Structure formats: structure tokens, C-alpha cells
Amino acid sequence: MKSTDECIEQGIYKAYSIQFVGICHEGEWYILYDLTFFGEQMPEAAAKGFLTKRFDSPDAWNSGSFRLEWSLKLPGREKPIRDVEMEEFSGLPWLVGYLKVEHKRKVNRTFTDYSNTAVVEPFLSKMRIEFHEEFSEFSPLFSAGCTLVFPADKSHFLAVTMARHQTKGYRLVWFFYSFSLGKFYRWTYPQPRFSGGHYAYNIDIIMDLQDISKWDDYQFLNSSRTLDEPTFWSEYVLKRADGNYTWLEEIG
């Protein structure tokens, strides 16, 4: 239970290693690295043997971080546990897919944080003031703010949250924002379902999306995934008829 510094100072750690594992994929290097300490039962010579043991296997370059198959199965379970983030990069070595997911997650989180702070939060505050009966309270699914759904180019997004109507109760509300237009619309394709109280509504979000997109699992929410299906955006969000949006309603 001692800290790393205490283990070093007291000589409990006898050896350590800085390990780099990498793959050059399509002309670009993907490298994982970690710092590992070995305790008093493993001196330096034994630690070196432990680190090189994996390469004694004739299949070393097709296993571990280099493997192509990385589904996780549990005893007694026929189907593997789903990982929607790694699904996007199926067919790639695990290490490459893992680092691509990590990079995309950081970019998406930065975009979501910025959009919530600079665009969404001021808009919701305005809605509470101007339409207080309809939007008397907003309940975000995650503590970081409104849940956003957007394509990889991040030119626009859908923002979803739970709102309380003073007489009808709580329901999901969807808003669309375009950076090029600089304005919000209400997305009217999903039909509201009112309830007497607010709750964790991740399943409800997927219910609104699963019939018109491939987002059929709550794992998509707050993940590295982007909704990159052109038909979803063109037919169910930005569709026009007679010069007017079919599923978008101007607000204010």
C-alpha cells in the first residue's frame, strides 16, 4: 500500500523498465509505452527475462498488442462483450485501434466541452428565460453538460437533454446547431415521451436514434464514436421540402 516514491526510497523496487511497443501502419507509427516497477522478489536479471519471454513464442507478432482479434468473451457467455469504440477499427491490430480510439476520444471530448460551454449552455439559459413553462429545468445525462451527437467533420451537432415542462412533466428535447448558420433549431423527428420525474435516459436517447441510424447501443454515448451516416443527416435531420426543413423548427 506504499506509494511509488516510498517503494523506490526504501529499496522495495529492485528494478524498473520503460517499455515501448509499436506498429508502423500505413506509414505511421503507433506506439504504446509504460513504466513498470519490479519488487523485491524480482531483481534486474529476472526482470529482463520476464520482459523478453513473450518473444520466445513463434507467434509473438500475432498475439498480445499485435493481435487482430480482440473481442472479449466471458465464461458461459456465447457472444463476446461488445466494444463500440473498437468496432470502428475492426480488422486493425489491437494496438493501432486502441490508440486511434484514444486520440479520437480526446478530440471529441475537447469539441464537446467547447461546444457546451460556448454555445449550448448560453442557449439553454435563454430557453429557460424566454420559454420558462416549456423549459423550466434541464437535466443533463452526464455531469460534463449536454449530450452531443455529431459527424467527424464537426460542422454541426444535435444536442439532447431532459427538460421539465411545468404542467406536462419531463421529456427529452433535441436541438440542432449549425456552425455555418450560427443558430439553433428544434429537431422534431423524435416524438416526446413525458414522465413524472427525471431519470438516467441513456436508453431513451438510443430509442430515438436506433431506427434511423446504426447507433443501437448506449455505449455510443459519451464515447469516441461519431455519427457518420450521410443518410441520417440528409433524410432525418436536414431534409427539405418546398424550400423548408422537414424536421427542423426555428426557435424564437
For residue 60, the model assigns a pLDDT of 80
Write the CA distances from 92 to 62, 70, 99, 234, integer angstroms: 12, 10, 11, 30
| Sites in the chain below the pLDDT cut of 50 | none
Q: How many CA atoms lie within 13 A of 66 on its CB side?
A: 12
* 2-24 confidence digits (pLDDT tens): 898 898 888 888 788 888 999 99
pLDDT of residue 252: 64
The rounded Cα 101 to chain-centroid distance in angstroms is 9
- pTM of the model as a whole: 0.86
Q: What is the pLDDT of residues 212-226, one digit of tens each?
A: 999 999 999 989 999
235 vs 247: CA distance, rounded Å: 9
pLDDT (0 to 100) of residue 189: 97
pLDDT at 135: 95
CA distance 190 to 171: 11
For residue 73, the model assigns a pLDDT of: 65
In eight-state DSSP terms, residue 46 is H
Q: Which triple of cell numbers denotes residue 240?
A: 427539405
